[in-house]
Structure 1
Amino acid sequence: MSKHIVITGTSRGIGYELVKLFANKGHQILALSRNDRPVKALKLKNVKAFCFDLGDAEAYEKVEEYIKEHWGHLDVLINNAGQVLNKLFAQTTVSDFEEVYRTNVFGMAELTRRLIPFMAKNSHVITMSSMGGVQGSMKFPGLAAYSSSKAAVITLTELLAEEYKDSGISFNVLALGAVQTEMLEEAFPGYKAPITPEEIADYIVDFSLKGQKFYNGKLLQVSNSTP
């Protein structure tokens, strides 16, 4: 059965691969990214791409209007958009923290808040976190803003699951290990991750469609490294 799916951060990396995989399975997708050209170039009939900035209030209204007019309801929301900053803490300003949090936390929270009214029993909200945001995991210098923002969405997901526990909507968060994306290359030039965007996207697609049957308010660590 075809699902209605909203995905953020779709211009490259994991989000771009998610669009292609879901589309090939026959689902209806609304792809949101600051750069909508890569998805539009795919010319997939069941995919609509919007130029979307998580800091633009009007952009949220456009998404709401589209769902109301064309779908009526939403089955899956994947909060995939993210911003990384590799900068030593002593050099990281309040503005740096605000910029990272605006995308990774505030934008995720606002889009989720706006779209929950379109969701019903068995709907699923999945947010991409990072192993760097998991308490007790290995930490790396330079990621104070990024990793702390990813820790914030883990706790927020737990709170949403509790607050909406009678709605039948499930909220889960995936803490990903290193994936060989453009964003990783920009933050850590030359580093080679063991997982490709295609591989992790395949896992996320399956979890998005089935995970709500087994999990709610849970953090799943998707990494083959320890700790």
Structure 2
Amino acid sequence: MHVFITGVSSGIGWGLSKYYLSKGHQVYGLSRRVPEDLIQNKNFNHVICDLTNFKSIPKSISKLLSQVSKIDLAILNAGILGPIAYMKEQSLSDLTDVMKINVWANKPIIDVLLETVPNTIKVVAISSGAAINGNKGWGGYSISKAALNMLIKLYASENEKTNFYSFAPGLIDTPMQDYLCGDELNGAEFPSAQKLKEARYTSNMPTAKDAGEILAKGINELDKLKTGSFADIRKM
């Protein structure tokens, strides 16, 4: 199987890459930093790309996938959290930064992917329960993931040969949790952050490495759903 993944240097993207490589699959990764452990695997192919620079995306993807005739699975994982704060305290600059990575960077990625490798079978965007929960403090992140879900739904309606899905992975212990579970956030003020603090270092929040297999199974289950669907692994 040929798997394309964005944001492979850490977190969920790294964990999924690690899992698919362990199964002997070819993995094509895009990220700002080089995952030094992954590049030791002969089946891992990587190109550095800063997704905030939209103009660099087409060249990076073309370089990575120009010799690939089929992508069985593309996982749009790269994303940022942004500040946890009340909406009135979140600047338009902060909101724009989150939207650029979590939503708009995925448009040129999808466009160039389908142009470079027309035989792309399935595209899965890593979304979040925050896309629908509307918990206070999650501002730009919630808005961006809700917009991402619609972006995927639109691409699904316009591309009959490729299946598109938005997928919420549940609680995973990634670098993002260092901020969410740190002392900087007041759990009483933001109850959803308190729940994350309580879940960390328990079976309710697996590490990115341990989550790789769990998420891969969930991604396989998406095939049962209508293209364009949003699914939360906790409800599958």
**Shorter-normalised TM-score: what interval?**
0.7 to 0.9
Residue 92 (structure 2) pairs with residue 82 (structure 1): no
SS in 2 for 1:223: helix
Which residue pairs with 1:55 in the alignment? 52
Of residues 174, 178, 188, the one that matches 2:167 is 174
Which residue pairs with 2:217 in the alignment? 206
SS in 2 for 1:71: coil
Which residue pairs with 2:43 in the alignment? 46
Deviation of 1:141 after TM superposition, in Å, equals 2.3
* Count of aligned positions: 214
Superposed CA RMSD: 2.1
Matches within 5 A, 1:124-135: 124-134=122-132
Quote the Cα distance in structure 2 between the aligned partners of 1:125 and 1:184: 26
Which residue pairs with 2:100 in the alignment? 102
List gaps (5 residues or longer) in structure 1.
none
Quote the Cα distance in structure 2 between the aligned partners of 1:104 and 1:28: 25
Deviation of 1:149 after TM superposition, in Å, equals 0.3
Letter in 1 for 2:141: Y
List gaps (5 residues or longer) in structure 2.
184-196
Cα distance change on mapping 1:36 and 1:111 into 2, 3 Å: same
Quote the Cα distance in structure 1 between the aligned partners of 2:181 and 2:144: 18
Residue 231 (structure 2) pairs with residue 220 (structure 1): yes
TM-score by length of 2: 0.82
Deviation of 1:179 after TM superposition, in Å, equals 1.8
Letter in 2 for 1:150: K
Of residues 11, 14, 17, the one that matches 2:9 is 11
Of residues 145, 155, 158, the one that matches 1:160 is 155
Of residues 126, 131, 141, the one that matches 1:146 is 141
Which stretch shifts more, 185-194 or 11-20? Answer: 185-194
Letter in 2 for 1:89: M
Deviation of 1:100 after TM superposition, in Å, equals 0.3
Deviation of 1:180 after TM superposition, in Å, equals 1.7
Matches within 5 A, 1:18-33: 18-33=16-31
Cα distance change on mapping 1:156 and 1:92 into 2, 3 Å: same
Of residues 201, 205, 212, the one that matches 1:195 is 205
SS in 1 for 2:211: helix
Letter in 2 for 1:185: D
SS in 1 for 2:127: strand
Which residue pairs with 2:118 in the alignment? 119
